[in-house]
Structure 1
Amino acid sequence: MSITSFSSRELNHDVSKAKKAANKGPVVITDRGKPSHVLMTYSEFERLTGKRRNLVDALSMPGLSAIDFDPPRADIAPRGVDLS
Structure 2
Amino acid sequence: MATMSSREFNQDVGKAKRVARIEPVFITDRGRPTHVLMSFEAFRQISGQTESIIDLLAMEDEVEVGAAGDAWDKPRRTGL
| Separation in 2, partners of 1:7, 1:39 | 12
| Separation in 2, partners of 1:37, 1:14 | 16
- For 2:49, what is the secondary structure of its paired residue? coil
Aligned length: 50
Q: Name whichever structure is richer in helix by fraction.
A: 2
Cα distance, 1:51 vs. partner? 2.5
Give the corresponding residue for 1:30: 28
Which ranges in structure 2 are unaligned for 5 or more consecutive residues?
51-80
Give the corresponding residue for 1:65: none
- For 1:24, what is the secondary structure of its paired residue? coil
1:21 counterpart (19, 25, 43): 19
RMSD (Å), alpha carbons: 1.2
Aligned: 1:4 with 2:2: yes
Q: Which has the larger radius of gyration?
A: 1
TM-score w.r.t. the length of structure 2 is: 0.60
Which ranges in structure 1 are unaligned for 5 or more consecutive residues?
53-84
| Separation in 2, partners of 1:21, 1:42 | 13
Cα distance, 1:8 vs. partner? 0.3
